[in-house]
């Protein structure tokens, strides 16, 4: 990964999965520690006081002081940090929310499933659409269809997510009444149904980059010698495309997808806000505006862990697609 990491490479090259796992975990722990520490100090540097957000303009100095004391915000910064770390290890929690009073862990556990489901739905949708569009474009290189498909990402990339979401709501929910305007429905079917428009909105922002990357890779593979050889050997086109071309061009797109999904873990904020979904993104938004320190820290921790897990999963799936990359990532 990094050139100076020759030791890492050496151990990884030894091809012991257990060793690889140990190294990956050490790396993950380092990343998570850095994120948590950085967020802890950053949010305290930013102006704004949770006590004043609760008490509003009736915050008498006594009331502020009393609230600070009960929240432990009157302690020196270093002591606050050690308490925070202690709490993290003894209770596995970043503390009780200042604004809502409930445990941060519970708040996140309650809201994470919706956001994760939204990300999965959006990613599946984005992959399906990207596969179709990229294949059509690559196999019709420089024809009208290819040009149309290549214009599409340029346009959609320029459309802000909240605007796409609002348009979808206005048309499909308010005008046609096909989908709920917002919120999350009850039961599995209700949830999936209510998340359809949000998922399309998220997918909209993901599709352009995926199509571009996949199309470029497919073109490269389609023109490579081994495809010509396969064709010359009389292998059916369907087999060539699905077994060889797609598989060989999927790798960079998979990496890109990994980056996209990692971004979405905390980045569905705008979509959740527009569609009134009570997920991680909207929780983060309220927590930041209320300066709810424990919740902000909790979400940062959750995002860091999720991103690390996703990058591990992507790494593993890239091995499966192309065993040559094993240990090289």
Is residue 256 within 8 Å of 209, Cβ to Cβ?
yes
Query: Residue 201 CB: number of other CB atoms within 10 A?
Result: 25
Is residue 46 within 8 Å of 35, Cβ to Cβ?
no
Terminal CA-to-CA distance of the chain, rounded, Å?
A: 6
Question: Binding to other proteins (CB under 8 A): which residues in 125-184?
Answer: 128-129, 132, 135-136, 139-140, 166, 169-170, 173-174, 177-183
Structure tokens at 257: 């997808």
Q: Which is nearer to other proteins, 243 or 328 (CB)?
A: 243
Token pair 């922002």 is found at 205
Q: Which is nearer to other proteins, 61 or 92 (CB)?
A: 61
Structure tokens at 116: 């994760």
Q: From CA 210, how far away is CA 157, in angstroms rounded?
A: 11
Is 11 one of the binding residues for other proteins (CB under 8 A)?
no
Residues in contact with other proteins, total (CB under 8 A)? 64
The distance of closest approach from Cβ of residue 291 to other proteins in the complex, given in angstroms and rounded to an integer, is 5
Among 8, 20, 275, 302, binds other proteins (CB under 8 A): 275
Q: From CA 133, how far away is CA 129, in angstroms rounded?
A: 6
Long-range contacts of range 259-263, CB-CB < 8 Å, 24 or more positions apart? 260/123, 260/126, 260/206, 260/209, 260/210, 261/119, 261/123, 261/310, 262/306, 262/307, 262/310, 262/311
Q: How far is CA 70 from CA 63, 75, 265, 293, in A?
A: 11, 11, 32, 14
Per-residue interface string for the shown chain with other proteins, residues 48-87, x marking contact by CB under 8 A: xx--xxxxxxxxxxxx------------------------
Q: Which is nearer to other proteins, 297 or 318 (CB)?
A: 297
Which of these segments, 1-9, 33-41, 70-78, 190-198, binds other proteins (CB under 8 A)?
Answer: 190-198
Q: What φ, ψ does residue 244 adopt, rounded to 5°?
A: -115, -50
Picking from 124, 280, 293, 134, the residue whose alpha carbon sits closest to that of residue 215 is: 134
Per-residue interface string for the shown chain with other proteins, residues 96-135, x marking contact by CB under 8 A: -x-xxxx----x--x-----------------xx--x--x
Question: Binding to other proteins (CB under 8 A): which residues in 230-269?
Answer: 231, 237-238, 241
Which of these segments, 15-23, 26-34, 209-217, 274-282, binds other proteins (CB under 8 A)?
Answer: 274-282
Q: Which is nearer to other proteins, 82 or 289 (CB)?
A: 289
Tell me which residues touch other proteins (CB under 8 A).
46-49, 52-63, 97, 99-102, 107, 110, 128-129, 132, 135-136, 139-140, 166, 169-170, 173-174, 177-183, 185, 189-190, 192-193, 196, 231, 237-238, 241, 273-276, 278, 282-283, 285-286, 289-291
């Amino acid at each position: 990964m990094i050139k100076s990491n020759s030791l890492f490479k050496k151990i990884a090259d030894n091809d012991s999965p257990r060793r690889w796992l140990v190294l990956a975990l050490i790396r993950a722990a380092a990343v998570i520690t850095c994120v948590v520490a950085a967020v802890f100090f950053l949010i305290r540097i930013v102006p704004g006081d949770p006590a004043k957000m609760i008490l509003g303009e009736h915050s008498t100095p006594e009331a502020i002081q009393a609230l600070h004391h009960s929240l432990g915000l009157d302690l020196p910064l270093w002591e606050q940090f050690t308490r925070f770390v202690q709490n993290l290890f003894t209770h596995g929690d970043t503390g009780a929310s200042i604004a809502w009073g409930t445990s941060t862990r519970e708040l996140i556990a309650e809201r994470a499933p919706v956001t994760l489901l939204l990300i999965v739905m959006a990613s599946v949708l984005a992959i399906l659409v990207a596969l179709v569009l990229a294949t059509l474009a690559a196999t019709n290189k420089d024809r009208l269809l290819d040009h149309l498909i290549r214009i599409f990402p340029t346009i959609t990339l320029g459309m802000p997510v909240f605007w796409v979401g609002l348009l979808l709501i206005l048309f499909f929910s308010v005008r046609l009444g096909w989908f709920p305007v917002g919120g999350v429905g009850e039961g599995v079917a209700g949830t999936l149904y209510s998340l359809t428009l949000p998922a399309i909105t998220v997918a909209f922002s993901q599709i352009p980059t995926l199509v571009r990357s996949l199309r470029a890779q497919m073109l490269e593979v389609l023109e490579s010698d081994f495809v010509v050889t396969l064709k010359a050997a009389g292998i059916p086109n369907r087999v060539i495309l699905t077994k060889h071309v797609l598989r060989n061009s999927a790798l960079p797109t998979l990496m890109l997808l990994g980056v996209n999904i990692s971004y979405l873990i905390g980045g569905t904020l705008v979509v959740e806000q527009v569609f009134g979904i009570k997920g991680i993104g909207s929780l983060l938004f309220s927590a930041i505006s209320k300066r709810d320190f424990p919740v902000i820290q909790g979400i940062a921790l959750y995002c860091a862990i999720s991103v690390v897990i996703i990058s591990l999963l992507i790494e593993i799936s890239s091995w499966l697609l192309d065993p040559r990359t094993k240990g090289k990532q």
